[in-house]
Amino acid sequence: MGIGKGLRYVVRRLALAVPTILTIVVLNFALLHLAPGDAADVLAGEAGAATPEYMAQLRQTFGLDQPLYVQLAVYLKHVATFDLGYSFRHSMPVSELILSRLGPTLLLMVTVLLVSVGFGVLLGTIAARNLNRWTDNLLSMLAILAYATPVFWAGLMFIVLFSIRLGWFPTSGMEEVAAFKEGWPRVADIAHHLVLPAITLSLFYIALYTRLMRASVLDQYAMDYVITARAKGLTERQITRRHVLRNASLPVLTMAGIQIGGLFGGAVVVETVFGWPGLGLLAYESLFARDINLLLGIFFVSACLVVLVNLAVDLAYSLFDPRIELS
């Protein structure tokens, strides 16, 4: 694939993504405003004052007294200039707040993605090479168990076992703020806090990719090129490493791109359970605070990231399989 052709493909895909993101923004705006209650209700309740005059003043301050279509038009105008509004709960611009929380979420998601894809490919290949043996049966059983286990329950059990009883890992947070660590000690501290959230969120996806990789490897073993390789005298390990793995990994790569949106949803649960200071925990808090601007900003950034990740997956496809041309 030439550089010029690749750039044209990227530009075209990004242009096609604009209507998709616009539709997502409009739907999110409509759904959030259809829900009962707003920021004025929350602030009035906290202040202990709910007179009609005070409520009307709050709604006028936040522009909630305007018709819904007017609010939508104003919001779309701001989004077009990447102005995501102001968070009344945190008293700061939404874009600054999201940027401050984006790093922890990306760290968690990238770690989960690497761990789940890596172990899924490895375990799926092992299961396929030991078809109908005890190794295959054991891995299949563990995969089904991990797939069926609720993420929040697994997180709570990990906290009880590894944090409270054994004391191996911290119960919550991203780092020990009071320790004032810098450099590599701080990196090690963050990695120590990351272990349990990453494992908790990875379990479901490891199980998914293991089952998918197992089926994909078995399909590749039945292909003509594998039969030809065996006839030439190549060992099963050589066939798997040189030929089967690359072709069998394509469905896993596709599924990883599709599951990015679900990964964001899982991050909300995991970050809430472990107090991980990312976008998931921020979205959970803003939902109860009825901080509509912040919620809309988080959804907008999440949609953009999903689009970019799926674009990256399509580009990676052409690297894994030269037969695929981007057009």
- Per-residue pLDDT tens over the stretch 50-77: 667 666 776 777 677 777 788 888 888 8
212: tokens are 């998918």
**Residue indicated by tokens 């899982």:** 266
Query: Residue 37: is it exposed, middle or buried by C-beta count within 10 angstroms (0-12/13-18/19+)?
Result: exposed
**Average of per-residue pLDDT across 73-98:** 85
Q: What is the pLDDT of residue 317?
A: 72
**Average of per-residue pLDDT across 286-303:** 86
Please name the CATH architecture into which domain 107-278+307-320 falls: Orthogonal Bundle (1.10)
Name the pLDDT band for 323 (thresholds 50, 70, 90): low
Least confident window among 1-15, 75-89, 132-146, 178-192: 1-15
- Per-residue pLDDT tens over the stretch 144-170: 999 999 999 999 999 999 999 998 999
Q: What is the pLDDT of residue 134?
A: 92
63 against 105, higher pLDDT = 105
For residue 143, CA distances in Å to 8, 146, 269 come to 41, 5, 21
- Per-residue pLDDT tens over the stretch 127-140: 998 888 999 999 99
What are the φ and ψ backbone dihedral angles of 259, each rounded to 5 degrees? -85, 0
For the chain, give the mean pLDDT. Answer: 84
Q: What is the pLDDT of residue 118?
A: 93
Q: Where are the chain's structural domains?
A: 107-278+307-320
For residue 289, CA distances in Å to 58, 179, 229 come to 15, 31, 62
Contact in structure between 327 and 315 (CB atoms under 8 Å): no
For residue 119, CA distances in Å to 129, 203, 213, 241, 246 come to 15, 10, 10, 16, 15
Angle at 325 between CA 323 and CA 117, to 5 degrees: 70
Q: What is the pTM of this model?
A: 0.84
Q: Which of 116, 126, 124, 123 is nearest to 237 (CA)?
A: 126
Query: Residue 149: is it exposed, middle or buried by C-beta count within 10 angstroms (0-12/13-18/19+)?
Result: middle
**Average of per-residue pLDDT across 276-303:** 87
**Average of per-residue pLDDT across 76-83:** 86
111 against 184, higher pLDDT = 111
For the cut 60, the answer to whether the pLDDT of residue 1 exceeds it is no
Q: How far apart are CA 290 and CA 32, in angstroms?
A: 9
Helix residue ranges, H only, the chain: 3-34, 39-47, 52-61, 68-80, 94-129, 134-148, 151-158, 184-221, 224-231, 236-239, 245-258, 260-274, 279-289, 292-320
**Residue indicated by tokens 């990238």:** 110
